[in-house]
Structures are given as structure tokens and as C-alpha cells.
Structure 1
Amino acid sequence: MSETILRRILDHANRADPYPLYDELRKTPVYQDPGGPFVISGYHDILSLLHDPRVSSDARNLARNTNDPLGDSEDETSSALPPAFLRLDPPEHDRLRRITNRPFGPPHSPRRVEELRGELQGIVQELIDSIEDPGSFDLVEQVSYPFPVTVICRLLGVPREDESRFHVWADTLAASLDPDPDADPGERLKVTQDARMELGMYLAGLIEERRRNPVGDMLSDLAAGGHGQDETMTTMELLSTSALLLVAGHETTVNLITNGMLTLLRHPQYLAELREDPALAVPLVEELLRYEPPVQLVPQRSTLADIEVRGVTIPKGSSLWLVLAAGNRDPERFENPNTFDPYRKDIQHLGLGSGIHSCFGAPLARLEAQLALSELARRLEKPRLREDPPPYRQNAVLRGPRHLHLSCDGIRP
């Protein structure tokens, strides 16, 4: 194997189709980039490590390594805020995730996401209605991007009149995850920090307002606390969690919807079947999460002890990367792994992670993608790709098209 396999995976020139590189990577199940991280690519090994308490997600446990291909660290929501629970280990992780889950899902709020179905469907319909020129439009700008950020605003309880401000902050933070290589990094950092500061100040004010006057939204429930000292977030923790929900929950769903439509246009028989049977959206989205996962890899985790994988000892203190997208196409786990098949009987994929750090917003992301793709299939008449492959974002972790230029013969009511 080439010593530069990991850097080839990260190279933007290979972003449109990294899967042959993942096939190559799996030939060395435990691969160490020269002087850099250990990289795991097999399904069963990744699944085991996602559940292994000896693997830390806390960036404070990660030894700084100048040979790490991503540099010092992943993008953090804000250096001025404490780490979000996504980047913490138990018991801090468990406490914050448990508090956040109370107003979001079962067992305390089992129907919160499902109760949003009608509102979500209305948002998608409005976005499709707003497409002015069916002969030439960008699905990312028209639907994939504005849909999830609007949903996050409604879920948190951002007033409708402030949603446009939230969209601007989301745009800026998204750009920080997908930097233009020709842009001035100093200027980009300043713009990003300014947006984070404005978002933090806005959220702080909204949190205080919700504490005084709760209105039944998720932010009101989180701000109210009342579950004992250990079951209440500090204001800083609440700010960090809210920003996490905005950024992480938004970016993955953008890619899921966009990758989904791209895949359907490349497999028109399934697009036609989805148009006739919207219920197909449920298994179809699960296969998309396996076949084209929006999160391709989990980088920069660290080992708290020596861990043996396939006879190789990964020493304590090592940087560990888990390539979910490679595991999702592991022939040891899936039959015909490079074939897109929404009728696949066994889709226990890694597309939303697993273990204690499995995707917190998975129920919402699934529902958003199901509604968006089924509505697009129903309403777009003879949709076509205007370029294939489309231009991809710089980010190798959150992989997806920057634009998806389409045309269609018309838009059905």
C-alpha cells in the first residue's frame, strides 16, 4: 500500500469517488500513516472500537501531532465555549447528552420528532415551490441547505423573524467547515469567530428569555432545568449544546439529502419507484446512509490504553481514525457492497455511528431526508443532472457536493 493512502483520501482531487481508495485501505485493516494516526477501515473493527471505553473522544486526551493530516484539531464549535458533549467522555458526556435528550426524544419526549412531520413537510413544499427556473437550479441552495437549518430553528424555538439571522450564521459556520483553499485563512478565521460570537450572544439572550417565559420549545425545556443540580446545564454548557445542534445537526442532513438525490439520479429506476411509493423512502434512506454516508470518517480519537486490533497493538495515547464509509462497504460484512440496493435485507450500517456517540439527531435526520427525497421524487418532472460528478466540498469528513445543479421539465403541484 502506498504510504500516502490517507493523504490521498483527504486529497480533494479524489473527493468525487473515494471508494476505490477505501477498498485499497481495507487491505491493511490497521494502517498507520507515517508518523501519524492509526486508521481502521473494517466494519467489525470499527463497530467494536465505537463501543470501546478505551477510545476517547475528548480532544484534551489527544496528543498534538504535527504529522496529523488534519492539523491540530477538528473544527470546534467555539474556542470560547466548553467542549460540546460530542467531544467529551463519560461521565460528562453522559450527563449532558441525557439532559439534551429529555426534550428531544424518548423516553421523556417520545413523539417530539414525529410531531414535526407536518411542519417539516410544509417547509419542504415551500422550498420546492420557490424554485423559479426548473430548467436550471441548484438543489443545495434551493432545498438541501435551507431545509435543515430552518428545522433546527423551529426545534430550538428561534422566533420566525430571527430565522434569517440564523441562516447567515449557519452559512458562515458551514464555510469554516469547508474552507476555500484560495481564501485568506486569517480573514476566514476572523469572520468565523465574529459569527460564533454573534451566535453565542444571541443564544444567551434567547436562553434568558426562555428561562423567564418558557414557551414549550426545546430551548425552553433545556433552559428550565429542574432535574437536580447534576441534571441542569450551566449557561455555557447550554450555549455549547445549542451551537452543536445547529452545526452538527445541519451539516450532516445537507449532505444526506444531496447525496441521496445524486444517487437517485444515477439510479433512475429507484427514483421512479420512490415517486410511485413514498414508503420506499424509509429503507432507501437507510441504504443511503450505508452507501453514501454524510459523515465519512471519525478522526482524531485517542486511545486511553493499549488496544489490540487484528493482532496489531495500538499503543496508549495514539491518534485513531475510524473510516465509517470504508466499513460500510466492507465485503466481509455486506454482500455486493458497492451496489446501491434500497431493498437490501440487512442494512446495519455505520452511517450514523454507534455506541455512546451515535448520532444524537438520527431520528430527525432520517425524517428530514425521507420527506425531502420523497417530495422531490414526486414533484420534479424528469429531473436531470447538469454535471456529473458535481463539484464537491473541501471537507473530507463531511463529504457532499457543494452544489448539485439540476434541470427538470417542470414542477408538479
Structure 2
Amino acid sequence: MFKDSAMPSGTLLHQITDYASRADPYPLYAELRRTPVSRQDDGVYAVSTYWEIVSLLRDPRLSSDARNRAAQPGEVLPPEEDTTLPPSFLRLDPPEHDRLRRLATRPFGPPHCPRRVHDMGGELARMVSGLVDGFQGRDRVDIVEDFAYPFPVMVICKLLGVPHQDEALFHGWAETIVAALDPNPAEGPAERQRVAQQARSELGAYLAGLISEHRRAPGDDMLSALVTDHGPDGLMSPVEVITTAVLLLIAGHETTVNLITNGMLTLLRHPEALKRLRADPDLAVPLVEELLRYEPPVQLLPQRTALADIDIAGTVIPAGAPIWLVLASGNRDPRRFRDPDRFDPLRRDNEHLGFGNGIHYCFGAPLARLEAQLALTELARRLEDPRLVEDPPPYRQNPVLRGPRHLPVAFGGLAAQR
């Protein structure tokens, strides 16, 4: 039987990842920050303060490749991640990571496609308005099911060239793969990994079929570009296109669902900020940045490994040791942010960790920002007298991608479109 290295009884990390703490892990983060780099009972090194997290995210001695992980004393590592699909570039180190990331970003943003996200703005605004129009005649909605989930899915399908009508097909695969990020699985790490491998293989097979169609008849979408664009790095191999497509499809909507949902929950808990956003749509830009600091959709990065001994904050992390970077804790570090537990939409100097840092900084950040800005502005303007039905709402099981599973909101009416 595999020992789950992420379930040390009684440690702070165990308390943080326990579902009982999901609604409010921040007091535990404050306690964790008392020791910026702390070794847990299972050998995991938890890094919880801002400058130490940034330093490690920029340190070439920190690996994202699970193949560099060494077993801890008394621990048996589960089998390798997958035998059919190799890791995506998110789970690789330079130079493999750098080449694949360059190829993935060419059809998405600068310098090769500088207007890709900008030119989607009008269509995204129409999607948002259409979803809110669907609230007509109702006095209560689930922000997750009725808005925050369908909107990013529509966007990523349009961007990649995936038929939106296939959402019901890939939804289950995506949920299974994301659930594997949970460091405290109820079914045990070996079974969790087996199920996730199967889901990833099935999603990969589905996308392989789509990729073949795009290769035969390319369109103005990212899958077509990935199989036809001849840049300085050449073309991705067929299996690299598949693993990249799996990553983009899942990462392109899962975190944005949480960003929008956490954002609406925060606004409803801070009615003055909601009122200000309703009156001034330009507030959406700094407000979303503050949301990414205050309630980030990605709370922690539990899959990092030291490639060499790393001396940081007076602690030596030995080569091969597992490292957890607690991003959400760093975002509330009082050494970096003034009054960090206060939600301040006009906060200045807000260089948060909501999108990570270093070579793995989220290259989808411009799109996620735009989606959240449009979504929250439209909800603030059109929902009349919105109020939470349940606080705290029920949360998703996953402590890594933290957000409400449902967010029921009652409202008095619906303002017309502009």
C-alpha cells in the first residue's frame, strides 16, 4: 500500500488541506507563516511567505518534473504519472519546458499574435450578456452552474476550436483530472492516479481526433495553429500537441471558474465594493487584481522538488525533497502587503502570486483577467439587490483549486442590457 505523503496527521498542511478548513484557510496560513520554511512530519517543506515563494519560483534548482522526486524515508512512491501521454510542459523543466511553452504561446499572444485576446473582447462581452439574459424571470441563480462555469468553457472552446456541444463529454474527464490534484484523496493516491490516467488518456484520444480534423482543414483557432504553424522552434510532435491541448482545455477554464465565483462571493460580502463597481466599470481592472491576491483560484503548488540543497530563510531544503509553495499564504504576507487581510479594490503595488511567478507564470493570465473583468462588471450592473443565500457556500473538495462548488444568489430583478 502506498503511503500518502500529503496526509501527515496533525500538521498544519494537513489541517489546511482538510475539507473542514476549505471555507476559510487563512488563519491557518497566518500560523504557517510564523516559520517561512517549515518541514512537515512527512518530509514536505512548506514555504508560506511571499519573498521566499518568489525566490523559489525563480530558482532553477526547483523542479516541476515529478520524475525528479525522491522517496522520503518509509515512503513508497506510486508508479509514474502516465504510460500513454507524457507530461505537459507545465510538469517539465527547461529546456523542454521552454521550447513547448514558446510553441504553445505563439498562436495565443505577443509577439506572434499580439491581438488574439484583445480581438475576442466583443465576443466575450456578448457571451456574458447572453448568459445573464438567461436569468430573466428568475429570482435566484447558482452563479457557478448558471454563469461562472459555462462562460469560460464557451471561451476556451472558441479559442481552441473545440465544439462547445461536446462539453458534456469532456466535462467529466476534466473533473477527474483536476480531482487528482487533491493531496488528500479519499480513495488513496494509487487509485486516484489510476483513474486520472484513464481520464487523461480518454480526453487525449478525443482531442487527437479533433487535431486530425484541424490538420486536414485548418481554421482560425489554436489547435489549427499548433499543427500548422512553422515557427523558429519547428512543429510540436503529434503527442506534444495532444498533451498541450489537454492542458489548455482544462487550465483554460477550471481556474477562471474559481476566479469569477470567488470574485462574486467577495463582492457580495463587500457590498460597498459591489456598489462602486456598478457605478464605475473601470474599477474592474484593479478589483480583479485584488481578487487574485485576496482569494486566488490556485491556493498552493504541491508538486515541486529540490534538485540540489537549497538554503532559504535559514533552512536547508535537501536535494530530492518535496516542496509545497503556498501561494495564497504569500498573498496575505504582512511583510509584503499592507493590511493583507483587507479587501481593497484600489490597492497599489499589488504584485500578487495569483498567476504564479517565474518560468511557469500563467500565460493565459491576460484572457483570465479579461473574462473576470467582463463577468463581474456585468453581474454587478445587472443583478438588482443581489444577496447570498448561503454563507459560507459549499466548496469544492479540492484545496489546490479552491472555490465554491455552488454559489446560490437571490436577486430582486434584472437590469436591461446596455
TM-score normalized with structure 2 length: 0.91
Cα distance between partner residues in 1 of 2:189 and 2:310? 37
Give the aligned partner of residue 145 of structure 2: 141
Give the aligned partner of residue 31 of structure 2: 24
**AA of the residue aligned to 2:350:** I
**1:129 and 2:163 are equivalent in the alignment:** no
Match of 1:153 among 151, 154, 157: 157
Q: Is the 8 A contact 1:252 1:398 kept in 2?
A: yes
RMSD: 2.6
Q: Which runs of 4+ in 1 moved over 6 A?
A: 73-76, 178-191
**1:92 and 2:96 are equivalent in the alignment:** yes
**1:209 and 2:216 are equivalent in the alignment:** no
Query: Which runs of structure 2 are paired with 1:143-292 in the superposition (5 Å)?
Result: 143-167=147-171, 169-171=173-175, 173-174=177-178, 195-227=199-231, 230-292=233-295
Give ranges in structure 2 of 5+ residues lacking alignment.
1-8
**% of aligned pairs identical?**
62
For residues 266-297 of structure 1, the C-alpha deviation after alignment (integer angstroms, 9 at most, x for no partner) is 00001011011111110000000000011111
**1:40 and 2:47 are equivalent in the alignment:** yes
Q: Is the 8 A contact 1:258 1:401 kept in 2?
A: yes
Q: Is the 8 A contact 1:178 1:393 kept in 2?
A: no
Q: How many residue pairs end up in the alignment?
A: 408
Give the aligned partner of residue 411 of structure 1: 414
Moved more, 191-200 or 282-291: 191-200
Displacement of 1:188 = 7.8
Displacement of 1:231 = 2.8
SS at match of 1:403: coil
TM-score normalized with structure 1 length: 0.92
Cα distance between partner residues in 2 of 1:23 and 1:358? 25
Query: Which runs of structure 2 are paired with 1:49-88 in the superposition (5 Å)?
Result: 49-65=56-72, 80-88=84-92
SS at match of 1:231: coil
**1:400 and 2:403 are equivalent in the alignment:** yes
SS at match of 1:368: helix
**AA of the residue aligned to 2:208:** A
SS at match of 2:311: strand
Cα distance between partner residues in 1 of 2:278 and 2:168? 32
Query: Which runs of structure 2 are paired with 1:309-388 in the superposition (5 Å)?
Result: 309-388=312-391
User: Relative to 1, partners in 2 of residues 1:323 and 1:193: Cα closer, same or farther, differing over 3 Å?
Assistant: closer
SS at match of 1:313: strand
User: Relative to 1, partners in 2 of residues 1:284 and 1:202: Cα closer, same or farther, differing over 3 Å?
Assistant: same
Give ranges in structure 1 of 5+ residues lacking alignment.
none
SS at match of 1:250: helix
User: Relative to 1, partners in 2 of residues 1:243 and 1:319: Cα closer, same or farther, differing over 3 Å?
Assistant: same
SS at match of 2:397: coil
Give the aligned partner of residue 112 of structure 1: 116
For residues 175-218 of structure 1, the C-alpha deviation after alignment (integer angstroms, 9 at most, x for no partner) is 55579977899998787556434422221122112122211211
**AA of the residue aligned to 1:94:** D
Q: Is the 8 A contact 2:182 2:400 kept in 1?
A: no
SS at match of 1:285: helix
Displacement of 1:73 = 7.7
